[in-house]
Amino acid sequence: MRRRWFAIILAVAGMSAAAAAGSAAPAAADDEAPAPAAYIAVQFDTAFRAQPLRAWEAPPTLAEQGYFSLPVPPGRDPAEFAAEVAKAPNVLSAVPDAPVRAAAIPNDPYYLGSGSGPNQAQYLAAIGAPAAWDLHTGSRDVIVAVIDSGLDVRHPDFAGQLWENPIDNRNDGIDRDNNGCINDRYGCRFINLTQVNQAMCGYTSSTPTGAILDDMPSSHGTLVAGIIGAAGDNGIGIAGVAWKVRLLPIKALDCRGEGFMTRIADAIVYAVRQGARVINISIASDPPHTQADIPALRAALQLAQDNGVIVVAAAGNHSAGQPAGVAYPAAYTQYPNVIAVGAANNLDGMSWATYSNYGPAVDFAAPGNRLLSTTRTDIGLSNPYAEIGEPNGGFQGGTSFATPLVSGMFALLISRNSRLNAEDYIAAARAAATPAPPAPHGQNWAGSGIIDIGGAVARIPMLLTGVPQRDWRDVPGGTPIEARIGAAVCGSTTAVAAGPVSTFTLRVRGAAEQPGCGAPGAAVELVIGGLPAKPTITWGGTNADLGIAGLFVSSVSPPPGTVVVQTLGSGWSNLAHLEPTGALPGAASTLPLPWTAIYRWDPAKWAFSEAEGVLGAYRRFVRGAPAAVNDYPVIAQYDAYWVDAPAANVASLNPNPPPGRVVELARGWNNFVYTGQSRAVTDALSGIADKYTQVLQYDNASGRWLSYLPGQPRYLNDFGGLFTLRVYWIYMKEPAQLVMQ
């Protein structure tokens, strides 16, 4: 028996090595050996252990975690073979690999808008899609993986809608990005080679490749993908729920619509690793469904949950006399990110569709009957579109096609605010869903209810993250922060300090969640520590992303009032002359006596200096000195100057400087009075960006110089804003005009 275990382990070790060497072309052995009739799902005890991922690390593959699909030798019973393999000392589990299949097939082709023919409006309007499109039509930053029978990438309604691998996009048999799938330009195929699909579909290998063209006669995967993300408003065909999106087709069903659950698990992991935010699985296990609950699938779904990916799965269909329990993977209730979808009969008041499975796991219901979607372009249809269902044959649709409506909804929710987590999107969808009518069986068939896409998108909040400041200096941790729209407080949080810096994350409710709150065009004012902050944020309109990161928001001390008070230290102080222009000493009548001298820096005055590169010199007025000594007889309004005077507070009437005052700045140091509105340094000096190297301010009370260096971490600068009627020094690399607004 140990020899048999050793042989099995060697076989799988060889398989693992081949999978790891993903740069090679498919092995010829698959072409020569007879295709297996069945597979078992095996988990080996490997040296790999789950570790917290760093942001730049890709999630582990199932193979790295020890999960493999092992072919059953010819003539062996899968259950017996699995039981034998499970006894091996390095095997944690071994079970027959559960078969899965697509849930429905389409009917004849119909072209959207052709006279009195079928139309999408009969079901999309009923679930609020037009209202959703008023807010967002989708984003190509959102990737939706479609695990199905593949997709016809040649269909015109998928132009510009497909995910594309930027590295491994050739047809050369080399896995250039080492992701375990060869030449996966648009997606990947995960199909176990069997005797049946070898004969009927022409497959020759189980090796994952980019061969994702839909080869099901029913176009199952192409239909599903079209419902999610066929291009909208492009003048042809149909509109997907998300008019703009990136579809990632992953082929896990063969040409007969059949596959294995381990390959569904592989497909989930692949989707997560490629950055999918939503995974659509319009695939259901065969009864009895419990056989599909395999460790590899649970590991894949846990990986999706850990990465914030929403997995939307069909509850499955049943015929009269068949079990109606929810199929896997939709049946899992321990994963909050797995959304099970039942079908509503949109031809009968959104009642329960009699083919739809039901049970505790179902989260939502969506229309499943007579939907329109895209088909393969190579099956002889004059227009590659079809209505799903056969009204004369007793077949109306399937949960396979209700599911992508829900996936499309989540694509729109993520597009509306890309920075929320999966729980936020699911909560918005649940809160917006409309109650479903009871079914004759009396059990749960719709979960939270019938989806309302427009209502869900309207409930998506704004999420603001950034740096909270007071006068452009980080506030202490715990400082309260509010979001106000008019008189309504629409969100609140506190600053979080980490050393010398602070951050905040603020969720701002919309009007659908709290009347009077966010709506397109509304001004969102932040209040930090009880003071209004700048800038205000505008609630985005159509196709705006309500997730805004990297904000620097600062409350600002009130501007000077009618009287402006300047503090003088003992000795020299740097002041602003706010009185009218006049001759000295009379024009300086507000200064405390006895002041002795006034010096004003003139960057244009020549002076001998031993310091290389020093430009300019001081002009002076010495009180009581002969006129020949003084070269600064007249002081102008808004001159910045030094005065030698006793410590005091100097009060002046506010001159209320007009906007647009211009200061000529020379190369070298300049001393000026800032007369614009209080702003961050970068904003106040945006007109001369890259022309200055340092800004200084002299604190008269303490006698200390304060410095601001552009580009330096903010916590190393002594100040971050320029304030109205205060005095600053600036070093210019070249002459420029500063316009102060």
How, if at all, do strands 547-555 and 462-470 pair?
parallel
Tell me: the pLDDT tens digits for 277-312? 999 999 999 876 678 899 999 999 999 999 999 999
Active site residues: 148, 220, 400
Average pLDDT value for residue range 647-661:
95
Count of alpha carbons within 13 angstroms of residue 629, beta-carbon side: 9
- Per-residue three-class SS string for 552-598: EEEECCCCCCCEEEEEECCEEEEEECCCCCEECCHHHCCCCCCCCEE
Does residue 458 have a pLDDT over 90? yes
The pLDDT value given to residue 97: 85
Average pLDDT value for residue range 702-728:
96
Matching residue, tokens 């106000």: 484
Domain with CATH 2.60.40 in the chain: 462-555
The pLDDT value given to residue 637: 97
Report the alpha-carbon distance of residue 163 to residue 186 in Å, rounded.
6
Average pLDDT value for residue range 358-381:
94
Domain with CATH 3.40.50.200 in the chain: 100-458
Q: Which residues of 616-630 are buried (b: 16+ CB within 10 A; e: fewer)?
A: bbbbbbbbeeeeeeb
The pTM for the full model equals 0.82
The pLDDT value given to residue 5: 33
Architecture of the domain spanning 100-458: 3-Layer(aba) Sandwich (3.40)
Structure tokens at 353: 């569709």
Average pLDDT, the chain: 89
Percentages helix, strand, coil for the chain (3-state, rounded to 5) are: 20, 30, 50
The pLDDT value given to residue 40: 86
Report the alpha-carbon distance of residue 405 to residue 241 in Å, rounded.
7
From first CA to last CA, the distance across the chain in angstroms is: 87
Residue % of the chain over a pLDDT of 70: 89
Does residue 391 have a pLDDT over 60? no
Average pLDDT value for residue range 308-337:
93
pLDDT band with cut points at 50, 70 and 90 for residue 63:
confident
| The residue count for the chain | 741
- Cα–Cα nearest to 397, from 339, 456, 337, 341: 341
Average pLDDT value for residue range 595-600:
96
Tell me: the pLDDT tens digits for 395-426? 468 999 999 999 999 999 999 999 999 999 99
CATH of domain 462-555: 2.60.40
DSSP 113-165: T-TTS--SHHHHGGGTHHHHHHH--EEEEEEEEEEES---TT-GGGTT-B---
624: region left, alpha or beta (phi > 0 left; psi from -120 to 50 alpha): left
Structure tokens at 168: 């491994």
- Cα–Cα nearest to 539, from 549, 547, 528: 547
Does residue 4 have a pLDDT over 60? no
Cα 418 off chain centre by: 3
pLDDT band with cut points at 50, 70 and 90 for residue 569:
very high
